[in-house]
Structures are given as structure tokens and as C-alpha cells.
């Protein structure tokens, strides 16, 4: 039998994936009562899961009324885009400068999964493997503190990837846009890897007011 902690963890994971898949639109309200019925949990356990997702930036607490899926405006997306540029740019440089054969294998495998999903037109898998590739690069940086800082915002990064990828119909272009970054890391070119990683995160066109 699963204990309370396990039930809360599983329910939180399921709700997180639903949010990242876009099952709940921005500004959608969530209540502890409805979620407790949906997952067969107590309201206090459902509340614990929502508090975890709030800490990850995936829901907001609305005093006296419940919880809400955040509406990310262009400025929010710009903030995430620029933050990713800094963190992932540094990660790409460090990964390139310290790349080892096993790291090259991991990186090539992560990129191949993304390309395969794109070729098969599996949009949800493309989103998942897109994030997985970036996560792999950060892990290959070998910088524990960088990895811990990235984990603080990783769910918001996943949400950013999901939102921005929805703007593009060409899934194969999304996949191949990562190819030059991967190639630079595998080649051990730290300068080029950082430049390309930062450029990759600067692709999104934003209104002048949001820049």
C-alpha cells in the first residue's frame, strides 16, 4: 500500500505532466476539493502537491479561491528566454571543454531521440526530448552548483519549451536547430558552443515592449 508521501508525489507528477502538456489553459482554476476527488486523496495531500507545483512556478495561489494556472505574457517568456541563455550557454561551454567519450555518447543519444520524434511528427515527444537534450547538456557541464540552480527553474524551462515550440509547425526544424550546438560540444569548442547555445535561446521574436 502506498503511503501518503508516495500518493502526493505521484499525484503531483501526474498534474505536472498535464500542465506541461497544455491540458489546462492559462488562468484555469484548480481547487483542492476537485483534485482530491480526481486523485482519491485527502484535501491536505492535494494541497501539498499544489504547494510543490507553486514552488516550481507552474501554479499560483489565489487567496481564498484556490489555485490558478499562470498566464505567461511576452515579458515572462523573455525573462525565461534570457535566463536560459545565461545558464545553458555556460553549461554548453563547460560541457564542451570537459567532454569525454561517454558524454559524447549521451549527447548524441539525446539528440537522436529528439530528431527521431520530430521525424515521426510526435509533438509531445519533441517537447519532452527537447528539454531532455538541454538537461543533458547542463548535466555534462560537471558544475554541481549550476545544475542545482537549473533545477530551481527546470519546470518553468519545460513550460517555456512547450509554449514556444507550439509556435512552430515544422518539428524537424525544431530538432535540427539544436544540431550545431551539439556538434560544437562534441568537438570540444567551448567558445562556439556557448555562442550557439545563447543564440539558440534568442530565436523567439518578442514585441518591442517586452524586450
Whole-model pTM: value is 0.79
* Distance from C-alpha of 56 to C-alpha of 84, rounded to nearest angstrom: 15
Gyration radius of the chain's alpha carbons? 18
Q: Which of 60-69, 111-120, 144-153 has the lowest mean pLDDT?
A: 60-69
pLDDT band at residue 106 under the 50/70/90 scheme? very high
| The three three-digit cell numbers of residue 128, written as one number | 519532452
Rounded average pLDDT over 69-75: 83
Domain ranges in the chain with CATH number 1.10.10.10: 4-68
Q: Which of 42-51, 114-123, 160-169 has the lowest mean pLDDT?
A: 160-169
Pick the CATH number of 74-210 from 3.30.70.60, 1.20.120.530, 3.10.20.30, 3.40.50.2000: 1.20.120.530
Pick the CATH number of 4-68 from 3.40.50.720, 1.20.210.10, 1.10.10.10, 3.40.50.2300: 1.10.10.10
Amino acid at each position: 500500500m502506498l503511503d501518503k508521501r508516495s500518493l502526493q508525489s505521484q499525484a503531483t507528477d501526474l498534474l505536472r505532466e498535464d500542465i506541461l502538456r497544455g491540458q489546462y489553459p492559462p488562468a484555469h482554476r484548480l481547487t483542492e476539493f476537485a483534485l482530491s476527488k480526481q486523485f482519491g486523496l485527502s484535501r491536505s495531500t492535494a494541497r501539498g502537491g499544489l504547494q510543490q507545483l507553486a514552488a516550481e512556478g507552474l501554479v499560483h495561489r489565489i487567496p481564498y479561491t484556490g489555485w490558478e494556472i499562470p498566464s505567461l505574457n511576452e515579458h515572462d517568456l523573455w525573462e525565461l528566454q534570457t535566463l536560459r541563455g545565461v545558464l545553458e550557454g555556460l553549461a554548453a561551454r563547460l560541457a564542451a571543454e570537459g567532454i569525454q567519450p561517454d558524454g559524447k555518447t549521451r549527447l548524441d543519444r539525446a539528440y537522436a531521440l529528439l530528431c527521431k520524434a520530430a521525424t515521426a511528427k510526435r509533438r509531445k515527444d519533441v517537447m519532452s526530448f527537447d528539454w531532455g537534450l538541454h538537461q543533458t547538456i547542463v548535466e555534462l557541464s560537471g558544475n554541481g552548483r549550476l545544475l542545482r540552480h537549473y533545477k530551481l527553474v527546470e519546470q518553468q524551462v519545460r513550460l517555456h519549451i512547450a509554449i514556444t515550440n507550439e509556435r512552430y509547425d515544422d518539428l524537424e526544424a525544431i530538432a535540427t536547430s539544436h544540431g550545431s550546438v551539439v556538434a560544437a560540444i562534441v568537438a570540444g569548442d567551448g567558445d562556439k558552443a556557448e555562442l550557439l547555445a545563447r543564440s539558440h535561446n534568442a530565436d523567439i521574436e518578442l514585441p518591442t515592449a517586452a524586450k
